[in-house]
A = this chain, B = another copy of it.
Amino acid sequence: MDRIMSGTLYLIPCPITEGGTTEVIPLETSSIALRCRIFIVENVKQARRYLKSLDRSTDIDVLQFYSMGKHADDVEQSSIIVHLKSGEDVGMISDAGCPAVADPGWELVALAHQNGICVRPLVGPSSILLTLMASGMNGQSFAFHGYLPIDKTDRQQGIREMVRSIERSGATQLFMDTPFRNEKLFQDILSNAPDNFNLCLAQDVTGPKERIITKSIQAWKSKSPDFLKIPMMMALGH
């Protein structure tokens, strides 16, 4: 296990919104992405397009791509570790935002640590973090739950658990759902959270239709949002 000889596993964020501007990607992140020759990515076509958008002169054909799914294939993961151990750097790119956060990739990062490989996370957009910043809610402690349960009873129970968490610790609770369930989720929140709590709806974060609005549950009850049909991050808190 020789750290000096091994390559580095770089975690490379990409824009959150489809076809989004690379102006949200810092210079350090794009420089390192353009130096890597081997990648493990969620979607090969999309990753190629992203690398090309960082520098049009990039020769995509000399790059080597491995695929990862929600449960990355063991064989592909082993190949990546072999590359890293032989001193080659590897870049990880997921579909939107930061790899391994609300996106696949963390199993391979864990495997890298087990093999004594250096892991470097690079800076880029995260809809979770950006929503928290802009929510106007407690940013000293918070929790992210991913997707709430699909089943109505379980979902309502999930909301009530978040309410208890907020009452107990004051921690802001972040979560999301698919666009076609947003309306139901919104109604379930209005029915299960106290009137004096705040709910932040964040749509198309970093995109052209970005809109981040925080109101009390009481205020949302008197005027529902007209923009529940697109991907959205939500935050509930004091």
Which B residues touch A121, using CB under 8 A?
A: 129-131, 133-134, 205, 212
- CB–CB A136/B119 < 8 A: yes
Which B residues touch A143, using CB under 8 A?
A: 141-144, 171
Which B residues touch A24, using CB under 8 A?
A: 26, 28-29, 123
Q: How far, in whole Å, are A70 and B139 apart by their CA atoms in the complex?
A: 12
For residue A146, CB closer than 8 A to chain B, the reply is yes
- CB proximity of A105 to chain B, nearest CB, Å: 8
Q: How far, in whole Å, are A99 and B130 apart by their CA atoms in the complex?
A: 10
Give A contacts to B, CB under 8 Å: 11, 21, 23-29, 31, 98-103, 105-107, 109-113, 119-121, 123-126, 128-146, 171, 198, 205-206, 210, 212-215
- Additional pairs, 9, CB under 8 Å, beyond known A98-B129, A141-B144: A23-B31, A24-B29, A98-B133, A106-B135, A110-B198, A121-B212, A123-B206, A143-B143, A145-B171
Can you list 23 pairs linking A and B with CB atoms under 8 Å apart?
A23-B31, A24-B26, A24-B28, A26-B123, A102-B140, A109-B133, A110-B137, A110-B214, A111-B136, A113-B213, A113-B215, A119-B134, A119-B136, A120-B210, A120-B212, A121-B131, A121-B134, A121-B212, A123-B123, A123-B125, A123-B206, A142-B143, A143-B171
